[in-house]
Structure 1
């Protein structure tokens, strides 16, 4: 066998059955989604119920003011569909306005960085079009946890503690919601959010008297985008408040921005790898970078693909550097990136792989001769993005992360959704709503030449990047939190599964790695030439060889990188399976 064998045991079993499976980054969301399946709901009912529950269970990693990207395949359909829940920049979010505020980057916290929230509308249209349950039933779980309380994760309590001074001194509405007698709550303490429970109840009540289930959901969508949510959020954001830059600014989002946005569906991009088809969302996400990486790696010998060997780890890191440089030079809303997946483009990139670590930022040149150059800012001190949860930058600002939920049902529906944004530390809590706005605009550049430049109505290029794979008779849905590391952490798992013969649980458990030699998508947007982060379990021989090749290796710990979840279904037999990440002790799979 050319790949390093998987471990003789895994941290948990890969669940197998015939009824339905769920994998999520929080056990409560997994339990809720499985409960919906047990009560006769389909995968779309289940993922929506679990998705709203994540607002309560992982409030430091996502919220109603955030966004999401999904990939799903309806039973009997020939190919997947992208669920687009990424809102664009508000009408007044112009480069000139930000420059006039004295900014050279979009801040990492504060309502000035808010895109139009897209997650709630995306959940609602998915439920309307493909679910079977009433909205009241789907939301009952989240309403109950918000009203009656849910235990705070240790990571959530730690996040609140890190930003407690900010809350007390500058964001009093956040202090009112998240602090207890002025102090951070203890891990495991029950946290209640009655304001958010009331928001969800008002969305349900908006449909009272409507003639059909679809019309009741449509009424909830209207209430969200044109009713009390839009009014309260835009009025509150307009009051100047502290941002991550240390200055006070007013947000620019208004009621017209809310009413002008609708989530929707798109066709995915695809690439072949070892006889399978891998699907991702388009160039307004970072997803095509994973497709390009798989295309580069596809014809190589197995010995060069195994991330547990020095040669394989080096090849994967160098491949990631190339495709992430292409991401930053060419990806953005409306960008046509399919040329990066052509034979000529991937053959040329493959020839750039060398035996030594590159410390250069090397994007491909587009057919029109263009390749935008971002500023390459070296970090101030040692910053290891993605190794903690949540990530804490050197500046002391606490940055959020992301969630994941995947569901497959007995009828053959399958869905992977990556919700994010609107973290409790994003911006001040809107007291009437019990949540805050997101900060996705921080991935936009204040340079009009950039393909991901800030512009009204343009979606910021999101890092959210779920995956769907057709593996012969098997359909696989997977994803992970991690910002810039999302596709980086998925790549070794996919390679181990499709080329190395690992089960999903074996591949998720195996030690992994990523590069920091790319431009960070988030404020303050640093770049670490030749940077590589690896889990200690990868082995001293791999670490030593990487360093001898010129990689600037940082050891992240034994179990530190990746939070993957995955589900799958064999279309011939109807058998289903699920796997979940052990790192962080909060992701779980459920099913039978």
Structure 2
């Protein structure tokens, strides 16, 4: 057990009115202002999200995606609101074969899917919010129109792709390189075109009359059938230079946007140590968290907090769960059919029995329900293997973007709870400023989520028109005795459900409070195939914060792990909020790493 009085970088917040936690302090403040304005958790979460589009544009944007898990005071059953758009109708494996590509590039037009984030937030506001759209959009419009101080991550990202912008993507250069230069940290940067886009959406919404729901429906039409869709359609016809070294036209059209709607679906859940853990389905990587918890339980009592034995066991379980992800997850009927067998306690017990004293370098999917696993053929090729340390994902560093705009997938996260008992967890991402050229009429760019598809037919995650890419985005919610109690999550691509596992082990398993569970030293494996181009894996790499003692590193080496030392405060950007149904006390914590995330509440 870990000490329950462990040092924390900041206090766990406690109050009774409302709590907001996110990956940027300005967005958190916007959400808290909406609660003070009389809005509920859903109004606040949407205000946070639209503000994040402005202040964390290297991590998410209006052209990106978001899965949301929500529970309302009136209906405590958690549900998923899917803001992950699908592949366009023209996106076929045959099209990419004709271009001579074996992987979908990680930057440029070819990787764009229907941008689902804005549709999801407008749907959430329509169905569960209380405030007019203007009250929610005010903060994002203000920061875009009048400027906001840039954080280091934005500056570093712009610097990494500045030459690409200057030579290949002039519309991006016009927006992100004031006077042709990389902006400075804390410099005020205005985004007037994005502000004008939001203002036009708001104008068209309010032209629909005073009825709040009618306004939100009109805003949705403006985005998916009106001027935004028209601009996207025209932009996709342009050839854009991408990481392949060539220029390609896009596949996404206005008709694809008009055909899509944000949708609700049940969560996937697992009972664990007195709580029920809720995740999105196999079109996300969410079920791997449940598989890991089930396997760890099958192995009995956890080794001591902070020990090499615990690190080893958790990493080896992660390798098994993520191998199953690669063989069985995706937005396909066979993925949903496999899910009950993947979460069957006997199957998880059998999988857990594969964990030995030594680190495994194999990618070992199981056979749930007697199935025969099939992995993408690419994973057997030499180019699927990374050099040691190549995949290190230290969140304190900004060099996660290369000069061609390829991104390994950083993201944002939002958690909100209000005094009524409404609870929301969301993980917005995609539409990064570096992923595609800025659309000059709109002030934002399209995402590149299609890079997560495989171009090999017959896999659950094979590219197909209308299919969602198997996203890494994976918010979480806990219920206790059927009542929602905690919302949490983190950015971090393939690491998200490894870092969230550590949070649960710290918080539920060891009894640490929210902030202490977030602050505790972290690690992750790089053994699983990356979801982002170029889809590599480092079978023995264990990325671990330096706060562990030398004896831990020595024992991990003896067990066959290749420890990649990260910074002392570098891995994970978790946030969390909670509500005690018995007392009404609300709590929150946020990540201190990168000195950007914050929680607020009273």
Shift of 1:268: 0.2
- CA shift in 2, pair 1:469/1:544, >3 Å: same
Choose 331-340 or 421-430, whichever is displaced more.
331-340
Choose 371-380 or 514-523, whichever is displaced more.
371-380
User: What corresponds to 1:382 in structure 2?
Assistant: 389
Match runs of 1:87-486 below 5 Å: 87-207=85-205, 208-210=207-209, 212-304=211-303, 306=304, 308-334=306-332, 335-336=335-336, 337-367=339-369, 369-374=371-376, 375-376=378-379, 377-379=384-386, 382-388=389-395, 389-390=397-398, 392=400, 397-399=405-407, 400-471=409-480, 475-486=485-496
Between the aligned partners of 2:444 and 2:174, the Cα distance in structure 1 is: 12
- In the alignment, structure 1 residue 521 sits paired with structure 2 residue 531: yes
Between the aligned partners of 1:521 and 1:474, the Cα distance in structure 2 is: 31
Check whether the contact 1:128–1:214 (CA below 8 A) recurs between aligned residues.
Answer: yes
- In the alignment, structure 1 residue 591 sits paired with structure 2 residue 601: yes
Check whether the contact 2:160–2:399 (CA below 8 A) recurs between aligned residues.
Answer: no
> In the TM superposition, what whole-angstrom CA distance separates every residue of 1:192-235 from its partner, at most 9, and x where no partner exists?
11111111111111121435211110000011001111111121
Check whether the contact 1:274–1:298 (CA below 8 A) recurs between aligned residues.
Answer: no
User: What corresponds to 2:508 in structure 1?
Assistant: 498
Check whether the contact 1:404–1:481 (CA below 8 A) recurs between aligned residues.
Answer: yes
> In the TM superposition, what whole-angstrom CA distance separates every residue of 1:219-268 from its partner, at most 9, and x where no partner exists?
00011001111111121122111111211111111110010111111100
Shift of 1:298: 2.1
Check whether the contact 1:307–1:492 (CA below 8 A) recurs between aligned residues.
Answer: no
Between the aligned partners of 2:432 and 2:564, the Cα distance in structure 1 is: 28
Q: In structure 2, the residue corresponding to 1:356 is in which secondary structure?
A: coil
Aligned residues: 589
TM-score computed with the length of structure 2 as normaliser: 0.96
Shift of 1:540: 1.6
Q: In structure 1, the residue corresponding to 2:238 is in which secondary structure?
A: coil
Between the aligned partners of 2:484 and 2:299, the Cα distance in structure 1 is: 24
Q: In structure 2, the residue corresponding to 1:181 is in which secondary structure?
A: helix
Between the aligned partners of 1:245 and 1:535, the Cα distance in structure 2 is: 34
Q: In structure 2, the residue corresponding to 1:206 is in which secondary structure?
A: helix
User: What corresponds to 1:554 in structure 2?
Assistant: 564
User: What corresponds to 2:577 in structure 1?
Assistant: 567
> In the TM superposition, what whole-angstrom CA distance separates every residue of 1:78-137 from its partner, at most 9, and x where no partner exists?
320101000000000101111111211000000110010000000000000000000111
Choose 194-203 or 284-293, whichever is displaced more.
194-203
Check whether the contact 1:390–1:401 (CA below 8 A) recurs between aligned residues.
Answer: no
> In the TM superposition, what whole-angstrom CA distance separates every residue of 1:421-458 from its partner, at most 9, and x where no partner exists?
00000100000000000000000000112210111000
Choose 536-545 or 21-30, whichever is displaced more.
536-545
Between the aligned partners of 1:182 and 1:43, the Cα distance in structure 2 is: 41
Q: In structure 1, the residue corresponding to 2:10 is in which secondary structure?
A: coil
Gaps of 5+ in 2: none
Between the aligned partners of 2:388 and 2:240, the Cα distance in structure 1 is: 28
Aligned-residue Cα RMSD (Å) equals: 1.5
Q: In structure 2, the residue corresponding to 1:298 is in which secondary structure?
A: helix
Shift of 1:390: 4.2
- CA shift in 2, pair 1:414/1:78, >3 Å: closer
Q: In structure 2, the residue corresponding to 1:163 is in which secondary structure?
A: helix
Between the aligned partners of 1:505 and 1:447, the Cα distance in structure 2 is: 43
Shift of 1:300: 3.7
Shift of 1:6: 5.1
Choose 3-12 or 64-73, whichever is displaced more.
3-12
Between the aligned partners of 2:265 and 2:457, the Cα distance in structure 1 is: 26
Check whether the contact 1:19–1:410 (CA below 8 A) recurs between aligned residues.
Answer: yes
Shift of 1:474: 6.4
Between the aligned partners of 1:565 and 1:364, the Cα distance in structure 2 is: 32
- CA shift in 2, pair 1:353/1:57, >3 Å: same
Shift of 1:368: 5.2
Shift of 1:394: 7.2
User: What corresponds to 2:71 in structure 1?
Assistant: 73
User: What corresponds to 2:589 in structure 1?
Assistant: 579
User: What corresponds to 1:5 in structure 2?
Assistant: 3
